[in-house]
Amino acid sequence: MGGLKVHGHPISPASRRVVLCLEEKALDYDFQFVDMAAGQHKQQQFLSLNPFGQVPAFQDGDLNLFESRAITEYIARAYADKGTPLIPSDVKKLGVALAWAEVESHTFDSAAAPLSFELVVKPILGMPIDEAVVAENLAKLEKVLDVYEARLTTSKYLGGDDFTLADLHHIPIVNNLMHTDKVKPLFDGRLHVSAWSKDILARPAWQKTLDKMKL
Amino acid sequence: MGGLKVHGHPISPASRRVVLCLEEKALDYDFQFVDMAAGQHKQQQFLSLNPFGQVPAFQDGDLNLFESRAITEYIARAYADKGTPLIPSDVKKLGVALAWAEVESHTFDSAAAPLSFELVVKPILGMPIDEAVVAENLAKLEKVLDVYEARLTTSKYLGGDDFTLADLHHIPIVNNLMHTDKVKPLFDGRLHVSAWSKDILARPAWQKTLDKMKL
């Protein structure tokens, strides 16, 4: 029963988010490939791990979890003494980090995930890009990054002075977007956002994640 | 500087979510009405509390927070010794509660919030209902409630055997939907979902919230 297992797919930003968290925590784990092209995530064996049929699912011994942002918070608390802290111990600092983690989960992701899908994933899958979706979400993302620029003028990381889950949760999608001609300039054109994105993408745990999650 | 303050609007499910959490914790607080019809949430005074210009914002002394689900987790941890626990102390149980809280935040809310807006808020504001949006989200909600029905067969609450934030976060929107002819039958027609929705809506803290948040 023992050990940590991630059931996911290397192209999935949510799967990469969980692997990155485990790497930040310097924990050993097994990565179990879910063959989404073959519909494995909609079959009974996977549905017993996540009834919503989405990657990733996670196991820690007899505990089954799903939803990447819940898995990372579980890992950060269950393995608080390992690797990077990821969650402030002071409760007021925790509140601020939680608020910016919610910003990622709702406001940032709702613009950035469609851009990543259109501009990074669709070309890999040979699907046509929907330019209207791209235009709409570029405009939304610009507004989000304006708020991030102001925030990062007063604080090194989004969640506070230290790197936390609020930053970590961004990394897989920011990595994808920095490989696109249309979105990269939105980051590069904002002084503090640019420095922040370079800083978080350069983390050794992310480099290890990319090595393991090669497409 | 002292004291707890919620800056919100009585019709806003997210504002109600925070007030409900404070009532569960039996904490004293001030509710500051934000005149959204007059655009107060987009003016500088409110933007200094939440740069994204959305209600609610929250203050605990010199701490400013926003994002309702971050505020509730902050309150649950900062006032762990008051009122209802809301967060399991066992870390594996916490993981499960966090996973179902994420389900609410993404999967449930993405179907239920548009239904609440179309069927409850728009009639109050005298706006026409978009029947295509209603039909699309009814179908999505049915699938979510099928998973909830299976989950609630094995567990009294979504997050585990005890009431947690995973259940609490649902209450404002479930309350709205139970006042609609189109959505109420989807809850009533599922045995365990029906019992769960009646249970959570009957909580004294929710009755107090409704009294304070009268429209």
What CATH number does the domain containing A22 carry?
3.40.30.10
B101 shares its domain with B77: no
Domain of B134: which CATH number? 1.20.1050.10
Q: Which of B155, B181, B157 is nearest to B169 (CA)?
A: B157
The helix-helix angle for A13-24 and A68-78 (nearest 10°) equals 10
- Same domain flag for A109 and A74: no
What pLDDT is attached to residue A1? Answer: 47
- Phi, psi at A121, each rounded to 5°: -75, -45
Concatenated DSSP letters of A17-36: HHHHHHHHTT---EEEEP-G
Q: Are residues B40 and B13 in the same domain?
A: yes
Does B121 lie in the same domain as B57? Answer: no
Of the three residues A19, A51, A85, the one that is the final residue of a domain is: A85
Residues whose CB is less than 8 angstroms from the CB of residue A194 and which lie 6 or more positions away in sequence, other chains included: A187, A188
CB contact under 8 A, A71 and B147: no
pLDDT at B2: 66
How many other C-beta atoms can be found within 10 angstroms of the C-beta atom of residue B30?
10
In chain B (215 residues long), the average pLDDT of successive 10-residue segments reads 88 97 98 94 94 97 97 98 97 98 97 97 93 98 98 97 98 97 97 98 98 87
- Judge whether A138 lies within some domain: yes
Residue B11, CA atoms < 13 Å, CB-side half-sphere: 13
Tell me, yes or no, whether B64 and B10 share the same domain. Answer: yes
User: Is A212 part of a structural domain of the chain?
Assistant: no
- Owning domain of residue B128: 91-205
- Which amino acid would we find at residue A46? F
Distance in Å, alpha carbon of A43 to nearest chain B alpha carbon: 15
Instruction: Give domain status of residue B214, yes or no.
Output: no
- Asked if B98's CB is within 8 angstroms of A73's CB, the reply is yes
Tens digit of each residue's pLDDT (9 = 90 or more) over A120-168: 999 988 999 999 999 999 999 999 999 999 999 999 999 999 999 999 9
Are the C-beta atoms of residues A194 and A132 closer than 8 Å to each other? no
Helix residue ranges, H only, A27-163 = 44-47, 68-78, 91-103, 109-116, 122-125, 131-154
Q: Does pLDDT of A52 surpass 50?
A: yes
**Which of B85, B113, B143 delimits the end of a domain?**
B85
pLDDT (mean) for A99-125 = 96
Q: Do residue A200 and residue A105 come from a single domain?
A: yes
Which of A47, A87, A102 to probe by mutation at the B interface, max B CB count within 10 Å?
A: A102
Say if the ipTM goes beyond 0.90: yes
What pLDDT does B1 receive? 47
- What global pTM score does this model have? 0.97
**A181, pLDDT greater than 60:** yes
For A72-87, the pLDDT digits (tens) are 999 999 999 999 999 9
- CB proximity A21 to B under 8 Å: no
Which residue from A66, A95, A151 is facing B70, i.e. has the nearest CB? A95
Is A64 part of any domain? yes
A30 pLDDT tier (thresholds 50, 70, 90): very high
CA distance A95 to chain B (A): 5
Backbone φ/ψ region at B117: left (φ over 0), alpha (ψ -120 to 50), beta: alpha
Residue A112 domain-assigned (yes or no): yes
**Does A214 reside within a domain?**
no
* Average pLDDT value over all residues in chain B: 96
Check whether residue B201 and residue B115 sit in a common domain: yes
Facing A98 at nearest CB: one of B52, B74, B95:
B74
B155 belongs to a structural domain: yes
**Minimum Cα–Cα distance from B69: chain A residue:** A102
Residues A35, A42 contacting (CB under 8 angstroms): no
pLDDT band at residue A2 under the 50/70/90 scheme: low
> What amino acid occupies position B104?
E
Q: Quote the number of domains for chain A.
A: 2
> Tell me, what amino acid is at A158?
L
Residues A105 and A46 in one domain: no
Task: Calculate the CA A148 to chain-centre distance.
Answer: 17
CB-side exposure of A187: number of CA atoms within 13 Å?
23
Residue ending a domain, among A44, A63, A85, is A85
Residues A124 and A157 in one domain: yes
Specify whether A81 is located in the same domain as A101. Answer: no
B199 in the same domain as B98? yes
pLDDT in tens, B121-159: 999 889 999 999 999 999 999 999 999 999 999 999 999
Which of B60, B94, B150 lies closest to A51 in CB terms?
B150
The answer to whether the CB atoms of B95 and A74 lie below 8 A apart is yes
* A210 assigned to some structural domain: no
Contact at 8 Å (CB) between A144 and A111? yes
Q: Please report, rounded to a whole number, the percentage of residues in chain A having pLDDT higher than 90.
A: 96
What is the rounded CA–CA span in Å between residue A118 and residue A124?
A: 10
Cβ neighbours of B153 in A, within 8 Å: none
pLDDT for res A202? 98
Same domain, A98 and A195: yes
